[in-house]
Structure formats: structure tokens, C-alpha cells
Structure 1
Amino acid sequence: MRRRTTVVTTAAALAGALALAGCSDSGSGSASGSGSSKAELSVSGPYMPQPVSADMAAGFLTITNKGAAEDELTSVSSDIAGQVTMHSTMGGAMQEQTSFAIPAHGQLVFKSGGNHLMFEKLKRQPKQGRTVTVKLTFAKSGPLTVEMPVKSATYNPSTGH
């Protein structure tokens, strides 16, 4: 009888140790962004108002992260522009940013009057009804290519006009 108790106790201790090891592995996995705890990024609502300037245009979109780890938008490019810069707007002041965090289970919103993309040194004039191809590059996730429709200069996404 004593031998059976020892085997059961040893098995229980081993199971407990394995459970703890599993916990510590998943903890380190989320810290490194590997395994199942990673960012899951998608883009919605992209648009570019038809620019009124010959050399600059703005772009707006929302990046949603349904994953358990944060990521970071580190650069944006488009074949229509010599460069695309990212800007934040706080208290009416616009400031260029080198990156934007995308929180786990959160969103990064680029909208009129707030964070936005600036397409500079335009190579051709974006026209309403056309689309502009934009490549989003992230710190951890692979790049996303987005087709951004060109809307009227006065387009408002909340009304669709």
C-alpha cells in the first residue's frame, strides 16, 4: 500500500511541476512575442481625400490588433509618393512620428484632425474613384499592402459622403 501512495504522490508532484513549467514557458512566450501570443493585424476604412495640393496628400485608416501582443507601425510607403510620413496631432499641433504603437486587443486610428499619413512629393495626382497602393511595415508582423480608395476632397467617413 505504501508503494502505491508514493507512486501517486510522485505522479502528482510531476504533474504540478509540468503545469508550472508550462506557465513559465507561456509567460516568456508572450514577452518575446513568439508562439500563439502575437499581434493579429487587419486594416479597415482606408481612404485618401482627393488632394487639393499638387505635391501632398493625406491618408486615413484604422489598424486593428486582435492579438495578445502589441506591435508597432514603423513605416509606410506608396509608389505614388516620394515618401510617406506619419503624423500625430495634439492640441492642434502636428508632429511627425517615426512609429506608432498598436496595443494588444486595440486599435491605431488615423483620422482627419488626428493621427494621419502624409503622402509627400507626389509622383502623380491621385484622382477620385481610383485607388492608391500603400505598404504598411511593422516591427514584429509581416507587412500589409492596402488599396486606399481616393474619395472626394470633402469626404466624411461617418456619413459616407
Structure 2
Amino acid sequence: MAILLGLGGCSQPKQFYIDHGYVRLAAAPGRPAAAYFTLHGGPADMTLISVHTEVAIKAEIHQSMMTGNMSAMKPLDRVALPAGGTLVFKPGGMHVMLFDMNPAIKPGKTMTLDFTFSDGSRYEYDAMVIAAGAPAPKF
């Protein structure tokens, strides 16, 4: 019994994962779409340096902010994810702008987002695609 109790305290370290991902298409043709998701840190600190998809010509990590009474965005070169931490990319905060999307991408489909970190690790995540005016999915 003592051995079993001792083993219960030896849990595996949390692993990195991505969830709650979706892409909101642009309201007007030619405008960028936006990707939102949550990153969950693993056992070590990580730094996100890019997000890419085969169905957009360019993708940029952005941070939305208020400057006085005006909303603004600035591109981010990298985003730190502490070990065991959580980063939420959401409307009004951090997000990924997807420029020149393939017009064949329609609501109800999924698209693959490729995440690259400064240590060279790469992860793929299939995000659901929603229309411009659609509410965010409930996860």
C-alpha cells in the first residue's frame, strides 16, 4: 500500500498542447482573417516565433491594444510561454492575422495552423473555420 501511495505522487510533467482554436474569416474579400487559440505550456519555457498556414500568403502574430480611445494593433516577433503557463489568443488581445487567404476556405471546414518555436519545435493544429459574423465556438 505504501508503494502505491508513493507512486501516486510521481506524476508525469504536463505536456505542451494547443486547444480552442478557430479562424474567423474576413467580412470583406481581400481583408485578413484572424486565428485564435490557447497554448498550454509544457515542462519547459517556450517562445512562439511564428504561425503559418498553407492557405494564406502571410501570417503575423499581433497584439490588440487601446491607445487613448482608439484601438490599435502591433505585430509581435515572439511570444513567451512559461512552463506550465497558458496563453490565450482571443479577439481584442493576441491573435494571428492571416493575409490573402485562399477563397476556397469556407465556414464549417478546418484548416491547419503550423506553430514554430525558438527551439526549433513545430506543432500542427487543425482549427475550425467560422464566418466573419459568427459567434466564437463554445468549447
- TM-score band w.r.t. shorter chain: 0.7 to 0.9
* Equivalence for 2:7: none
* Equivalence for 1:50: 25
> RMSD in angstroms over aligned alpha carbons?
2.3
Q: Is contact 2:48–2:116 with CA below 8 Å preserved after alignment?
A: yes
Comparing 142-151 with 49-58, greater Cα deviation is found at 49-58
2:52 matches 1:77: yes
Which structure 2 segments of 5+ residues have no match?
1-11
Q: Is contact 2:27–2:133 with CA below 8 Å preserved after alignment?
A: no
2:77 pairs with 55, 79, 98, which one? 98
* Equivalence for 1:62: 38
Any residues of structure 2 matched to 1:9-48 within 5 Å, and which? Answer: 40-48=15-23
Normalised TM-score (structure 2):
0.78
Q: Is contact 1:71–1:103 with CA below 8 Å preserved after alignment?
A: yes
Which structure 1 segments of 5+ residues have no match?
1-35
What is the rounded CA distance, in whole Å, between the counterparts of 2:105 and 2:91 in structure 1? 18
* Equivalence for 2:8: none
Q: Is contact 1:51–1:126 with CA below 8 Å preserved after alignment?
A: no
Identity %: 27
Amino acid at match of 2:16: L
Larger Rg: 1
* Secondary structure of residue in 2 paired with 1:60: strand
Q: Which has the higher strand share?
A: 2
Change (3 A) 1:42 1:141: farther
Aligned pairs, number: 123
* Secondary structure of residue in 2 paired with 1:154: coil
The structure, 1 or 2, with the larger RCO (C-alpha pairs under 8 Å, 6+ apart) is 2
Change (3 A) 1:136 1:96: same
What is the rounded CA distance, in whole Å, between the counterparts of 1:156 and 1:140 in structure 2? 35
